[in-house]
Structure 1
Amino acid sequence: MGAERRRLDDRVAAGPFPVALRAAIDGSGLGLERVRYRLAQRGTPVSVATLSQWQSGRSTPTRHDSLVAIGVLEEVLGVVPGSLSSLVTPARRRGAAGPLTREAVWPQEPLVPRLLSRFDRDDEHLTRIGQHDLVRLGPDHDERSLRVRQVLRAERDGVTRLSAAYRFERPHPVAPRVKPLRHCAVEHELYRPEIGTLIASLVFDRVLSAHDAILIEYEFLVPPMTGRSFFVERKLRFPVGDYVLEAAFDPRSVPSACRWELRTGPEDTVARTGPVPLDSSGCAQLVVPGAEPGRYSLHWDR
């Protein structure tokens, strides 16, 4: 059995990736459906069709969430950690952006990075598998709430919390607050009205071990105020497997057109932009598979 194991390890290490993956799956004795099921259990879903394409060489994992799944796949198939990941490392370097510094994400608000450094104890050890931000706007296009739904995966044992921050377009005299909705609680909360920013530390309802995944949901609640907003912006410091930024407008004041923008550097220049359609319910959705770090925003007609 030892010699057989060594031969399998040698075949996997020799590559290329499709051959190594096929050998690892054959050696595990698992069918593709069983592999898919075990990946899903660990919070890194990959379809049978995708697994088949990977092992046949018809496609290569390059997106951030796919590369995360390869690390979990090594565990599922019982091969040497890093043996499959190392075979797609060049693609990872080309295709996946790394995290930004706090200063790069908050270039106009130098106080925020210093405040965040007190809160984000575990942020570096979480992979963002998915995130959905839903901003609700009142009849004057004033911000009413931001609901956040995140799927996260721990990269080490003992991960317990996540920091969250949101900058409102203008300061509010009455402090906004964070309401935990699912699988988290507010540990600390800080609102700085002079910069219109609310920062919170959210503690999970269980301690995560390495490769554990969790879904959390929470909401920033904004007191009513006068003043019209013309855009909403969300800052992503880390890559997100699938990111959705959605603006839900009051039926009485749906704008005629929306557009999205992405800024990725400290300079205030637009890296990419484009139109966003509005649906019949008065919502605009920006959907970004494999979202790189940066500042994503939705803008609408005045």
Structure 2
Amino acid sequence: MEKRSIREAYGRSLVELGRKNYKVVVCDADLSSSTKTIYFKENFPDRFVDVGIAEQNLIGVSAGLASAGKTVFASSFSVFETERALEVIRNMVCMSNLNVKICSTHAGLMTGEDGATHQSLEDISIMRTLPNMRVLVPADFEEAKQMTHFIAEQEGPFYMRMVRDDLNDIYDENYKFEIGKADILLDGDDVAILSCGPMVWNSYEAAMMLKERGIHTRVINMSSIKPIDKNVIIDCAKDVGLIVTVEDHSIIGGLGSAVCEVVCENYPAKVFRLGVEDRFGMSGASSELYEYFGLTPKSIADKVENIFNNKY
């Protein structure tokens, strides 16, 4: 299975958008080589703004350009863009419902050796609480590409969360991303695993292991966190009764919490949240961190099997 960079998909898509729409502008905070906005900079230097290491200014400049009629993509590392600049995002972008697309890279534990200071494990929680903000988490190259094109065509703010490492291909060009819609990758009636980002592939691999153990798993890509697909969650609650969420994020306020909100309000069922449990990350290779925090396919399969066999 081929692995490709979703940051690369994002950067190349920006160039395609820039060629089609002169209103597309890209802003960055001195990280264009890492965020891959450098491709846009090379092709459209007059529509690229590097504000330096100043994320609050990044959002402020983006808001100003959006208020002048531009479609603005603002990029930096997730932890700095969503947390250092939160007040500016809230008061300038969301409150005015401006056309700013906050596309952050290096989210989650997959930021690896950069350590806890650079591993954003709170960003989904923060961004989904903001009025007017939509939150998307691509699971692979194709989905990141389609998301980038999609949000460029929509008015108002978006947050798109990307990781550093290459991800296994899940989709091809026949896939069609739809906001507010989850994608069922595998069906099963024993347990439903709902995941996002790099955890989608890991959940699918875990399901293959569980199948060999006699447990039939429904695997769902929840790439649209806000708006979320309430119908697919309710169906899992009704048809399966046991839901496990998996995310490279804190279990507080992220995908797991969003799923619990839907279940509690519509059709109560048991939900277990797998992710980072109320702590910061640590330095190490992403594979080592996923092992440590129990987010490898085998770890997920073992935890799900234990939950299922103990009749939750």
Task: Flag the structure with higher helix content.
Answer: 2
Structure label with greater radius of gyration: 1
Task: Flag the structure with higher strand content.
Answer: 1
